[in-house]
Structure 1
Amino acid sequence: FLGYFYLRCLKFILRKVTGRCELQRICYNNKHGARRSLKIGTTPNISDSLLRSALSVDSDRVEKTIDDIMALKKINPDTNPQLGVSLGASLLQIVGYRALLMQVEKLRREAYDCENQEHEEMLLKLWKELRPDTPLSGRISKQWCEIGFQGSDPKTDFRGMGLLGLHNLLNGMQIWSLSCGCRYSFAIVGINMTELTYSLLLSGALKTHLYNVAPELPGLTHFQQTFCHLMQEFQRFWVEEDPSDIMEFNRVRAKFQRRIVRQLQDPDAALCPHFSASDLRLVNL
């Protein structure tokens, strides 16, 4: 109680001294990106509005939320025009992150169905792209092990990540040539890196990165870029660690994850700022 009372008094004093409420201080004193959006997302009296807005990323809803917040804080939009712009950009990032999480979760929950022609075509496309000169003997074949699946039917490897894993493998095909000499299996490692990217998104650890690389709405393209970046970085990390065999995969993976989590704790973190959609053969989800 004393801590809460002290905080309220401090905010009151700061408002009297600076002439600005906490929201104004956050927007004016922090550059656009994670530093600003993370603070706005945890500011009292704003969180409830954000939760209501999270159901939709429609720009009109965000604008209405901005109007409500400024009215609540008794801020005149005519004398504070930049505040609405700054707040709007951060709100779009926050509700966009939540929408992205729902989109990714939907893909993850969709199981691979061998009776679904679209699913089968995606899987066969993966083989043709990675083994263009080698015909596949059959849908069920030991040949799948050549590109890193664990058995003769890839369907079983998608149980944890669902269609999200398959989409990411298609997006990460350009990394296949890098993985060939690294003594690990491309497909199963790609699914594993999908799980890592998903867990970082779910925990909120990816907020720093996505808020810093997505000017407004983080989307599936940003998620795919992040996955491809993690695949490339893991390939480099694997070479640096120089494990004796694939049995050390879990140790190397855990060490790699700890390094990425540490990087993401920096509010200025941007794992792959140089990536753009044109750099990758991204699948339209």
Structure 2
Amino acid sequence: MTSSSTLRRRLHHGDVDGKRREHYDSSDYGSLGEPLLGGDRHNEQYTLEELLDDPARKVNLHWSFIFSQLLAQWAQWLANIVLGSKSLFGRFVTPALTSQPALFAPALTSTQEERLRKLQSRLKVPFDGNHIEHQDALKKLWRLAFPTREIPPLKSELWKEMGWQGTDPSTDFRGGGFISLENLIYFAEKYPESFQCLLHKQDGQRAEWEYPFAVAGINISFVLAQMLDLQSGKPTSTAGLRFLQLLGEDEMAFDDLYCVAFQMMDAQWLAKRASYMEFNDVLKSTRAQLERELALEDICSIKDLPAYNLLRR
């Protein structure tokens, strides 16, 4: 007998591989800042702060998820009362005085707070081509990508073979940061088969003008941080709230989600028969699919996402 989660996973692969064609208005996603790839964007763009300040957009949050959080809080309050409280009046009054934003940002556990703080600290570290640790990380990425080849100088035409746009990879980090290099290394180490397949464009019928692998990875790190609202003190987006749950269960949830997103992006790239100038459109549809999958009710870890099944070790 097929379980509901298995059936759901099959159904959603229609979205993962891009067969369900949808048109996305760029105004729904917020500005990607300075795009690293793709053509000009003609539609009006919004910053993340503008989206969150717009009450009409907040109404579109996943209310069933919010309601479940509220029920959990009520259950905790009731348990406190039943177990005995020095001030029943205080227990009833405190929830009533709770400000409205608490509905969008429920209280975090100590584990969630610590892991969120570490992740946000990682996001604040810019890539510095003069930093020895960052240089060593680039060299490590090369060894993982091309294990039988000699590491080139830090400025070399050979870096273009990995998908950097110039001879100096450090110039391509303007939209990301050191975490995007860490994400690429994590991808190469944990899912080497998928990493090599995407690096060398081995799956499907490829476009004549392909996306550069490494720079695409930087874009994905940036879009994920934006989608999950990680620049805020505490995420309030639907995807961000669900991600906090996953982060509480797995400290490497962001890095694993990055790998899923990269694999999903390539699947949509192939299904849409996209070319270089359409990269931003593919990123937007990838983001939309990730948001849909994160909103599924039975997602308890990154491995529960339908698109996780696309990854190969």
TM-score, normalising length: structure 1: 0.61
Q: Distance in 2 between matches of 1:153 and 1:95?
A: 41
- Kept after mapping to 1: 8 A contact 2:228/2:243: no
Give how far 1:95 is off.
4.6
Q: Where does residue 120 of structure 1 map in the other structure? A: 135
The separation in 1 between residues aligned to 2:295 and 2:162, in whole angstroms, is 34
Judged with a 3 Å threshold, the aligned counterparts in structure 2 of structure 1 residues 37 and 104 are, in CA distance, closer, same or farther, namely farther
Question: Counterpart in 2 of 1:241?
Answer: 272
2:166 matched to which residue of 1? 151
Residue by residue over 1:215-236, the C-alpha shift from the partner in whole angstroms, topping out at 9 and shown as x without a partner, is xx24431111111111111121
Among residues 230, 234, 245, which one is paired with 2:261 in the alignment? Answer: 230
Q: Give how far 1:120 is off.
A: 1.2
The structural deviation recorded for 1:273 is: 2.2
Rg larger for: 1
Q: Secondary structure at the match of 1:273?
A: helix
Structure 1 pair 239/280, CA: closer, same or farther in 2 (3 Å)? Answer: closer
Distance 2:213 2:133 in 1: 22
Q: Using the alignment, how far apart are the partners of 2:244 and 2:312 within structure 1?
A: 17
Q: Deviation string for 1:40-66 (max 9, x for gaps)? A: 68x58x9xxxxxxxxxxxxxxxxxxx8
CA distance in 1, matches of 2:82, 2:213: 54
1:127 Cα deviation after fit: 0.7
Equivalent in the alignment of 1:186: 213
Aligned residues between the structures: 206
Pick closer, same or farther for the CA change 1:116–1:138 going to 2, 3 Å: same
1:75 aligns with 2:82: yes
**Residue from 38, 44, 65 that aligns with 2:69:** 38
* Identity fraction in percent: 24
Alignment of 1:116-265 (within 5 A): 116-173=131-188, 174=192, 175-179=194-198, 180-181=200-201, 182=206, 183-202=210-229, 203=235, 204=237, 205-209=239-243, 211=245, 213=246, 217-243=248-274, 245-265=275-295
Q: Deviations over 1:78-129 (max 9, x none)?
A: 9xxxxxxxxxxxx896554443332222112112223322211111010111
| CA shift for structure 1 position 259 | 2.2
Q: Taking structure 2 as the reference length, what is the TM-score of the superposition? A: 0.56
Superposed CA RMSD in Å reads 3.5
**Greater helix proportion:** 1
Give distance in 2, aligned partners of 1:161 and 1:40: 38
Residues 209 and 108 (structure 1 numbering): CA distance in 2 closer, same or farther, change over 3 Å?
A: closer
**Alignment partner of 1:107 out of 106, 122, 125:** 122
Change (3 A) 1:259 1:271: farther
Where do 5+ consecutive residues of structure 2 fail to align? 1-64, 86-105, 230-234
SS of alignment partner, residue 129 of structure 1: helix
What amino acid is the match of 2:171? T
